[in-house]
């Protein structure tokens, strides 16, 4: 079994965690394949024995890779979307960060997680991706996102007007700093911080959430995920920011934009005992009120 390992980097106090991960992989007969940049950062400070394979980009993610482990927080796991693309390679998130809605496997669960991987005793959650279409090329060969698509004013410019349409029919004009279209996965991200609702991963919907709207009667709205959401932007500046997860581009306001459900999704590995409700309770401290 070949398991790819991706991370942006590790802290000094996480070296023992890497050694533990390698020990467990080798003990179970799995071959680790490290992301090259990550390997270069830690190989001299971690006790390694033998030679290890590496990969550099999505081109190396072929059918020989059984799964990918993301070491870090949710931002690190979002990076893996651009690596696995439409290969269907499942992704397991190990939380070396803070909150960890997506990377919800704790460092203390490494032993059981690797055993579950090798014995294939896990559940695959297929997460919806958002696809962007525009009249000029955007985001290269990865025009999709796991969490959200965002339109936002640039820097300190005044608010923008975002004319929004659902399947070609006018919905609303948002006078705001920006607008978020999130997947159910992204409903616990940027959208949540802008007072958007929490949506279950299998709810087959998108959430449209304004960022600091000027009209107080404007609220987030949930639409079916077979909806094409399109936009026209007005503002006093010539450009605005368009983002897909953590990737962003500065685009002219004359651009034509639309988002829809991507034709493929991301296979997120979930251990059998974990589920979305448990994640909500753990990460948001629900149910801990002493009056319950």
Which positions are annotated as active-site residues?
74
Task: Report d(CA 72, CA 93) in Å as an integer.
Answer: 8
CA separation for the pair 184, 128 (Å, rounded): 8
Coil, strand, or helix at residue 184? Answer: coil
Widest distance between CA atoms in the chain: 62
> What contacts 16, CB < 8 A, 6 or more positions away?
none
Rg over CA atoms, the chain: 20
Note whether 252 and 238 are within 8 A (CB): yes
Q: Helical H runs in 110-229?
A: 110-118, 190-193
Q: SS3 breakdown of the chain: % helix, strand, coil, rounded to 5?
A: 25, 35, 40
DSSP symbol at 245: T
């Amino acid at each position: 079994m070949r398991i790819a390992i991706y991370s942006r980097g590790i802290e000094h106090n996480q070296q023992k965690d890497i050694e533990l991960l390698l020990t467990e992989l080798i003990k179970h007969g799995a071959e680790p394949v490290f992301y090259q940049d990550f390997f270069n950062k830690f190989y001299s400070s971690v006790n390694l024995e033998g030679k290890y394979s590496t990969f550099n980009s999505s081109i190396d993610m072929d059918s020989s890779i059984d799964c990918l482990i993301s070491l870090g927080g949710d931002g690190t796991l979002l990076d893996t979307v651009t690596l696995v693309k439409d290969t269907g390679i499942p992704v397991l998130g190990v939380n070396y960060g803070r909150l960890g809605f997506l990377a919800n496997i704790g460092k203390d669960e490494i032993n059981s997680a690797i055993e579950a991987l090798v014995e294939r005793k896990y559940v695959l959650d297929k997460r919806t991706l958002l696809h962007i279409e525009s009249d000029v090329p955007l985001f290269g060969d990865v025009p999709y996102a796991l969490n959200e698509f965002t339109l936002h004013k640039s820097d300190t410019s005044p608010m923008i007007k975002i004319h929004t349409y659902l399947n070609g029919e006018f919905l609303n004009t948002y006078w705001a700093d920006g607008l978020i279209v999130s997947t159910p996965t992204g409903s616990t991200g940027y959208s949540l911080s802008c007072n958007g609702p929490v949506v279950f991963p299998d709810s087959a919907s998108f959430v449209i959430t304004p960022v600091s709207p000027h009209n107080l009667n404007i609220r987030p709205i949930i639409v079916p995920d077979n909806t094409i959401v399109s936009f026209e932007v007005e503002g006093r500046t010539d450009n605005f920011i368009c983002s897909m997860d953590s990737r962003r581009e500065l685009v002219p306001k004359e651009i034509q934009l639309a988002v829809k459900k991507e034709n493929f999704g991301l296979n997120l590995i979930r251990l059998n005992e974990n589920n979305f409700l448990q994640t909500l309770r753990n990460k948001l401290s629900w149910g801990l009120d002493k009056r319950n």
